[in-house]
Amino acid sequence: MVPLEYYLVVAGIIFTIGMIGVIVARNIIIIFMSIELMLNAANLAMIAFSRNLGSMGGHVMVFMIMTVAAAEAAVGLSIIIALFRNRDSANIDEVNLMKW
């Protein structure tokens, strides 16, 4: 049986990679994928805790997070496609909606 700490270390590494991707990246698609990585890291940690405690509550929460992530992916990708069609760029610096 794999100890809980191993799962948490992997989840922390995945979350850190996602956080660095959000901070450093200039492409909207890469930022979007990094956010998905962070959600998956949270799911992994929640499943690990749930398994360690012998509870099904964590599994239910993971299914809810996956549902929200799927809806976020659908809406987010449609917004990204609309921005790309209007601005012809996926660079976050060139897409500034607050300016005229």
Does residue 98 lie within any of the structural domains? no
Distance of alpha carbon 69 from its chain centroid, rounded?
A: 8
Does residue 11 lie within any of the structural domains? yes
Does residue 100 lie within any of the structural domains? no
pLDDT band at 99 (very low <50, low <70, confident <90, very high): low
What pLDDT score does 100 carry? 56
pTM metric for this prediction: 0.84
Range of the domain at 76: 4-89
Count up the domains in the chain and report the number. Answer: 1
What pLDDT score does 82 carry? 86
- 18-83-69 Cα angle (round to 5): 40
Does residue 95 lie within any of the structural domains? no
Does residue 8 lie within any of the structural domains? yes
Task: Please report, for the domain that includes residue 55, its CATH number.
Answer: 1.10.287.3510
Alpha carbon distance 29, 58 (integer Å): 29
Does residue 94 lie within any of the structural domains? no
